Amino acid sequence: MRRDWRWVILVAVLAAVLGGAVGARLAGAGPGTRGDAGDGAGRLRAQGVELVREDGADAVVQAVERVGPAVVKVAVTRQAFVDSLFFQAPVVEEGLGSGVIIDAGGYVLTNEHVVREATDVRVMLRDGRDFRAELVGADPWTDLAVLRIPGQNLPAAELGPSAPLRVGQTVIAIGNPFGLDFTVTTGVVSALQRTIPIDENRFLFQLLQTDAAINPGNSGGPLVDLAGRVVGINTAVLGSVEGFAAQGLGFAIPADMARQVARDIIAYGRPRRLGVLGTALTRAHRRVLEEELGVAAPEAGVLVLQVIPDSPAASAGIRALDVIVEAGGQAVDSMEGLIAVTNETEPGARLELVVIREGRRFIAATRL
For the chain, what are the domain ranges?
A: 19-269, 276-367
Distances (CA, A) of 368 to 230, 238, 349: 30, 35, 6
Residue 342 pLDDT: 85
Q: How far apart are CA 278 and CA 214, in angstroms?
A: 26
Residue 32 pLDDT: 41
Catalytic residue among 143, 181, 256, 264: 143
| 302 in Cβ contact with 280 (< 8 Å) | yes
Catalytic residue among 219, 225, 256, 285: 219
The secondary element (H helix, E strand) that includes residue 266 is helix 255-268
Q: How far apart are CA 64 and CA 307, in angstroms?
A: 38
Residue 52 pLDDT: 43
Question: Which residues of the chain are modeled with pLDDT < 70?
Answer: 1-57, 80-92, 200-201, 240-241
**What topology does CATH give the domain 19-269?**
Thrombin, subunit H (2.40.10)
| 149 in Cβ contact with 302 (< 8 Å) | no
**Residue 219 known to be catalytic:** yes
> Phi then psi for 77, rounded to 5 degrees?
-125, 135
> Phi then psi for 153, rounded to 5 degrees?
50, 45
| 333 in Cβ contact with 280 (< 8 Å) | yes
Amino acid sitting at position 87: F
CATH for 276-367, among 3.40.50.300, 2.30.42.10, 3.60.150.10, 1.10.1240.10? 2.30.42.10
Q: How far apart are CA 270 and CA 325, in angstroms?
A: 26
Residue from 227, 175, 191 nearest 27 by CA? 175
Provide the whole-model pTM: 0.76
**Residue 285 known to be catalytic:** no
Residue 349 pLDDT: 86
Amino acid sitting at position 244: F
Residue 250 pLDDT: 93
